[in-house]
Amino acid sequence: MSDIENYLNALIDVQHKCHNTNGAPREGWEYLCIEDFVLREGQPFAAPSSVELPSDVSQGIVKECFKNCVNSVAMRGTDYLYCEGYALGIIPMLHAWLVSPDGQVIDPTWRKPGTEYFGVLFNRKFVLEQTLKQETYGLLDAYTAGWPLLKGIPKDEWAPALVED
């Protein structure tokens, strides 16, 4: 198990203890917390082998990973997929990055790539619709919208068609 997966499991355990959930999410929710969603729906990605970005991806602003990646997907109409989850730099943190058609991580935000990435791929249409609807960037910690993903939006609405169950 990766360091990120261990970290996610530890945070899920804390949620269980703090909320006395006995392993169940709150009523009306499919997932206990963001980390539960990421762990159940996400996958590991190999860290980038280079800090160089492809020529069609611009270096983004540090600490604006969600915006950097949404804009890359929205403005360029590329074949890159938007991914949100946790990346490990110095510590694991909620982060967004792009994934190329061949599965390579493209991180337009961090100047030095992380050593681990574990996240959930989202289809372009869902990313753009949710960003406009929420009027903010980021899909997982969508507190202003009431965390719709954690309440169980059907997977066929947010997952790319190439992702198999």
At residue 132, the pLDDT reads 94
Residue appearing with tokens 């990435």: 117
At residue 74, the pLDDT reads 80
- In single-letter form, the type of residue at position 14 comes to V
**H-only helix segments in 2-150:** 3-19, 34-41, 65-76, 124-134
With a cut of 50, which residues of the chain have pLDDT below it? Answer: 163-165
Residue appearing with tokens 């997932």: 31
Q: What is the pTM of this model?
A: 0.93
Q: What span, in angstroms and rounded, lies between the C-alpha atoms of 16 and 161?
A: 33
At residue 165, the pLDDT reads 44
Q: Please name which of 9, 16, 150 lies closest in space to residue 84, comparing C-alpha atoms.
A: 150
At residue 25, the pLDDT reads 79
At residue 163, the pLDDT reads 46
Q: Please name which of 119, 88, 90 lies closest in space to residue 103, comparing C-alpha atoms.
A: 119
At residue 76, the pLDDT reads 66
The tokens of 21 are what? 């959930």
At residue 164, the pLDDT reads 47
Relative to beta strand 92-99, strand 105-106 is antiparallel
